[in-house]
């Protein structure tokens, strides 16, 4: 029997942090994107053990690129604008394992 090395195949974490007096992911539609991703993952039959988990996160410290999400185990950081970007991440990366290059957050973008 093949034993999985992880309970989930992939995790996607959405920064939902709200900063006082500074730009933050919460101000750029992060909650709506999280909710949309969760619905899309479930509708695609990708949710659950051995598959995909959609998680909320506090500050991921990459505010300058916000809103941001990160997919593990690949540690692929994404920025997104709208639900069509989330749909593309779900279909390409979460379902088929293909990184959506146009949405990848540059490595030098931090806080």
Q: How confident is the model at residue 5 (pLDDT cuts 50, 70, 90)?
A: low
Global pTM reads 0.91
pLDDT at 4: 55
Beta bridge partners of 72: 11
What domains appear along the chain, each with residue ranges and CATH number?
A: 10-103 (3.40.30.10)
The encoded tokens of residue 95 equal 């379902």
**44 Cα distance to chain centroid:** 16
């Amino acid at each position: 029997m093949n034993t999985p090395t992880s309970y989930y195949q992939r995790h996607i974490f959405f920064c939902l942090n709200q900063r006082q007096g500074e730009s933050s992911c919460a101000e750029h539609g992060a909650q709506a994107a999280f909710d949309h991703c969760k619905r899309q993952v479930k509708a695609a039959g990708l949710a659950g053990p051995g598959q995909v988990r959609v998680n909320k996160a506090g500050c991921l410290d990459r505010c300058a690129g916000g809103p941001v999400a990160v997919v593990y185990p690949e540690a692929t950081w994404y920025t997104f604008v709208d639900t069509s970007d989330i749909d593309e991440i779900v279909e390409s990366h979460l379902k088929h394992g293909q990184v959506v290059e146009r949405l990848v957050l540059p490595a030098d973008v931090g806080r």
